[in-house]
C-alpha cells in the first residue's frame, strides 16, 4: 500500500474515531463515565422535538420613555437647585415633554442657557401660559427617544436571558423580532407557569417612606394628598387566608433596586420562614445609609412592582448596605424573587403576544417520523446507487454513511440545536450527497468510452468533476448561510443542517470516495471499473 493511501486512511480513521467519541454521549449516555458526558454534550433537541415553551413578547417601549422623562424631572430639579436658580415646579407633560415653571422672564432667560448647557437631550418646545408665571416646555430629542426604545428592547433581552439562565433551562433561544418584539423558546421546560412569572415580571424594586400621618381609609376613598400614593401590602394569616392592607407612601422613590449587587434566599431560624437578603453596591450602600440615618423611627416600605412586601420601622442607621425583604413567602416564591432581583429590573414592561406550549409526546412523535423519513431517504438512495452504478455505487453509499456520521458529530461539537426542519435538512442532505458521485461517475464513464484504462479514467473523472462539484455546492452553501443569518425558528434549524451537510458532503464525496477506489486499486491491478 502506498504511503499516500496509508496517510489518507489514517486521517479518515482518526476522524471516525473522533466522531464516535463525540457522539457517544448522544446515543450511550447512561453507560458512559461522567467525565465523558461532561466533556462532550449530546446533540441538543429543539423545542419541536423535546417539547417546551414558545413565547413572543412585546416590549412597551413607551413606558421606558416615560421613565426616562420622570428621571429627567429629578435631574433638572437637581441642576436648578445646584445653580441656585429659583423655580416653582418641574413636571412631565404628555409622552415626550417636560415643563419648567419659573417666576419671571429674567429667570426664564437664565433657565434657557442653563438647560442648553446642562441637559442637551432636551430641546426647547416653546412656552405656555401659567398665570403670572413663565412656563417653558422642553421636548426629548428624537434621537434620544429612538435610543431609549432600542435600549429598552436590548436590555429586556439580556435581563430575561439572565433570568432564564438562573432558571436552569438548557439551550434557550432569545431573539429580537422587529423593533419591539422578543422571541423566546425554552426547550424541555417543565413548569411553564413559573417561567411566565419569571420572564414577564418588571421587577422594579423601590424603597418609599410611609406617610403614617395620612389615614389609609381616607386614601381608599380617593382622598389622597398631593405627593402621596396608595399601595397595598399583602399578608397571609396563620390560617392561610390572604388579606390586603392599604398603606400610603410618598410618591417619590427614595431608593431603587438598580443599585443592588446581590440577592439570596435565607431562612429565619426563629420562625422558620424564608426571606430575601439583599446587598447594595457601594453607591447604593452609601445612599441606604443616608436614607436610614435620616429617617430613624419612621417606616420604610419595600415595594416591588407597586406591591408592598413589607414596611418595617427603621430602628437605627443601617450601614454596610445590607437589608432583607420579608413577607409571607413560600421557599419557591422567595427563590424566584431572588432570581429576578439578581437579574435586574426591566426598563419597560413586557406583554405576552403569543404563548404556545409544545408537549413532550408531540416531540417524540416528531422525532420518530423525522428519523423514519431520513432512513427512507437513505434506503432509496442506497438502492438506486447500487442498481445504477453497481460496485461504484456501493463505494458512494459507504461515503454516504461517513457523511451522516460526520454531520452529526459536527452538530454536537458546535452545540447546534437539532429541530424538526433540521431533520428535514439531514434527509435532503442524504438525497443530495450522491450528486457529486454521480457527476464523478458520469465523467469516468465518458473517459472509459474514449478507451482510457481504469486508472487513467478514474484520475480524469475526479479531476474534471472537481470544479463543477465545488461550484454547485458553494452556491448552495451561500444560500444556506443567508438563511442562517436572516432566518428565524424553523428556517434557521433547516439552514444549520444544510450548511454542515454541504461541507461534509464535499469531503466525503471527493476525498473519502477517491480513497476507497485508491485503496482497492493499490492492492492489486484493476483493468475494469464496475461503474
In 10 A of CB 340, how many CB atoms?
27
For the stretch 466-500, pLDDT in tens is 888 888 888 888 988 898 887 766 787 788 888 99
C-beta separation of 429 from 505 below 8 A: yes
pLDDT above 90: residue 247: yes
Are both 289 and 223 inside the same structural domain?
yes
Q: What CATH number should be reported for the domain holding residue 88?
A: 3.10.28.10
pLDDT in tens, 105-124: 888 888 888 888 887 788 88
Does residue 261 form part of some domain?
yes
Say if 372 falls within a structural domain. yes
Note whether 393 and 306 are same-domain residues: no
DSSP 132: B
Domain co-membership, 301 together with 384 = no
What is the model's pLDDT at position 18? Answer: 93
User: What's 488's domain CATH number?
Assistant: 1.20.1640.10
Contact 187, 46 (CB under 8 A): yes
Is the same domain home to 478 and 518? yes
Task: Examine the fold and report which residue of 349, 376, 404 is the final residue of a domain before the chain moves on.
Answer: 349
CB count within 10 Å of CB 530 equals 12
What residues make up the domain containing 451? 3-51+360-523
In whole angstroms, give the CA distance from residue 442 to residue 446.
6
Cell numbers found for residue 418? 437539532
- The CATH number for 302's domain is 3.30.1360.200
Indicate whether 237 and 317 sit together in one domain: yes
> Is the domain of 484 the same as that of 377?
yes
Question: Same domain for 345 and 294?
Answer: yes
Element (H, E) at 195: helix 192-200
State whether 35 and 67 are in the same domain: no
Strands (E), 374-431: 417-418
pLDDT band at residue 15 using 50, 70 and 90 as cut-offs: very high
In-domain check, residue 155: no
Q: Which of 349, 370, 391 is the last residue of a domain?
A: 349
Residue 263 lies in a domain: yes
Domain end residue (candidates: 315, 349, 383): 349
Number of domains present in the structure of the chain: 3
Question: Is the same domain home to 98 and 136?
Answer: yes
Number of C-beta neighbours around residue 444 at 10 A? 25
- Asked if 329 and 450 sit in the same domain, the reply is no
Q: Is residue 185 part of a domain?
A: no
**How many Å apart are CA 496 and CA 514, to the nearest integer?**
27
Domain match, 372 and 505 both: yes
Query: What is the average pLDDT across 296-324?
Result: 85
**pLDDT 10s digits, 307-317:** 888 888 888 88
- Is residue 147, in this structure, part of any structural domain at all? no
Judge whether residue 239 has pLDDT over 70: no
Establish if 515 belongs to a structural domain.
yes
Residue-wise pLDDT tens digits, 345-380 = 777 888 888 888 776 555 567 667 767 877 787 788
Residue 342 lies in a domain: yes
- Nearest C-alpha neighbor of 200 from the set 167, 168, 235: 167
pLDDT at 1 over 70: no
pLDDT per residue as tens digits for the range 119-166 = 778 888 887 766 778 888 998 888 888 988 998 898 888 888 877 776
Q: Which residue is associated with the grid cell 417636560?
A: 98
pLDDT score of 33:
82
pLDDT at 214 over 80: yes
287 and 336 belong to one structural domain: yes
Amino acid at each position: 500500500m502506498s504511503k499516500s493511501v496509508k496517510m489518507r486512511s489514517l486521517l479518515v480513521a482518526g476522524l471516525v474515531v473522533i466522531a464516535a467519541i463525540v457522539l457517544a454521549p448522544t446515543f450511550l449516555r447512561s453507560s458512559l463515565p461522567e467525565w465523558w458526558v461532561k466533556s462532550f454534550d449530546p446533540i441538543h433537541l429543539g423545542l419541536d422535538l423535546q417539547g417546551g415553551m414558545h413565547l413572543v413578547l412585546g416590549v412597551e417601549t413607551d413606558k421606558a420613555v416615560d421613565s426616562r422623562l420622570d428621571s429627567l424631572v429629578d435631574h433638572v430639579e437637581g441642576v436648578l437647585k445646584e445653580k441656585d436658580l429659583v423655580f416653582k415646579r418641574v413636571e412631565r407633560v404628555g409622552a415626550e415633554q417636560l415643563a419648567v415653571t419659573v417666576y419671571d422672564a429674567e429667570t426664564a432667560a437664565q433657565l434657557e442657557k442653563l438647560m442648553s448647557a446642562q441637559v442637551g437631550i432636551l430641546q426647547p418646545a416653546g412656552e405656555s401660559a401659567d398665570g403670572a408665571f413663565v412656563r417653558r416646555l422642553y421636548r426629548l430629542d428624537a434621537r434620544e427617544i429612538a435610543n431609549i426604545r432600542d435600549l429598552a428592547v436590548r436590555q429586556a433581552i439580556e435581563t430575561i436571558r439572565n433570568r432564564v439562565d438562573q432558571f436552569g433551562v438548557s439551550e434557550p433561544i432569545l431573539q429580537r423580532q422587529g423593533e419591539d418584539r422578543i422571541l423566546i423558546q425554552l426547550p424541555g421546560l417543565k413548569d411553564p407557569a413559573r417561567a411566565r412569572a419569571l420572564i414577564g415580571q418588571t421587577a422594579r424594586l423601590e424603597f418609599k417612606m410611609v406617610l403614617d400621618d395620612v389615614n389609609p381609609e381616607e386614601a381608599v376613598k380617593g382622598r389622597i394628598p398631593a405627593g402621596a400614593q396608595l399601595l397595598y401590602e399583602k399578608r397571609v394569616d396563620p390560617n392561610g387566608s390572604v388579606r390586603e392592607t392599604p398603606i400610603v407612601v410618598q410618591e417619590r422613590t427614595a431608593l431603587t433596586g438598580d443599585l443592588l449587587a446581590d440577592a439570596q434566599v435565607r431562612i429565619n431560624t426563629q420562625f422558620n420562614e424564608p426571606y430575601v437578603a439583599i446587598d447594595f453596591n457601594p453607591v447604593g450602600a452609601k445612599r441606604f445609609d443616608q436614607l436610614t440615618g435620616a429617617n430613624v423611627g419612621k417606616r420604610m416600605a419595600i415595594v416591588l412592582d407597586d406591591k408592598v412586601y413589607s414596611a418595617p420601622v427603621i430602628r437605627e442607621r443601617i450601614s454596610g448596605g445590607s437589608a432583607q425583604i420579608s413577607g409571607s413567602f413560600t421557599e419557591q416564591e422567595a427563590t424566584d424573587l431572588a432570581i429576578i432581583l439578581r437579574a435586574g429590573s426591566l426598563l419597560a414592561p413586557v406583554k405576552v403576544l403569543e404563548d404556545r406550549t409544545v408537549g413532550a409526546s408531540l416531540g417524540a412523535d416528531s422525532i420518530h417520523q423525522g428519523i423514519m423519513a431520513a432512513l427512507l431517504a437513505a434506503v432509496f438512495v442506497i438502492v438506486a446507487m447500487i442498481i445504477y452504478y453497481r460496485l461504484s455505487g456501493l463505494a458512494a453509499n459507504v461515503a454516504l454513511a461517513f457523511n451522516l456520521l460526520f454531520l452529526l458529530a459536527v452538530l454536537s461539537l458546535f452545540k447546534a440545536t437539532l429541530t424538526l426542519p433540521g431533520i428535514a435538512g439531514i434527509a435532503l442532505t442524504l438525497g443530495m450527497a450522491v450528486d457529486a458521485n454521480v457527476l464523478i461517475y458520469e465523467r469516468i464513464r465518458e473517459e472509459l468510452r474514449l478507451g482510457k484504462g481504469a486508472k487513467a479514467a478514474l484520475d480524469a473523472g475526479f479531476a474534471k468533476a472537481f470544479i463543477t462539484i465545488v461550484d454547485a455546492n458553494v452556491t448552495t452553501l451561500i444560500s444556506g448561510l443567508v438563511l442562517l443569518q436572516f432566518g428565524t425558528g424553523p428556517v434557521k434549524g433547516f439552514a444549520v443542517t444544510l450548511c454542515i451537510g454541504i461541507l461534509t458532503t464535499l469531503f466525503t464525496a471527493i476525498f473519502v470516495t477517491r480513497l476507497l477506489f485508491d485503496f482497492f486499486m493499490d492492492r492489486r491491478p484493476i483493468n475494469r471499473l464496475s461503474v
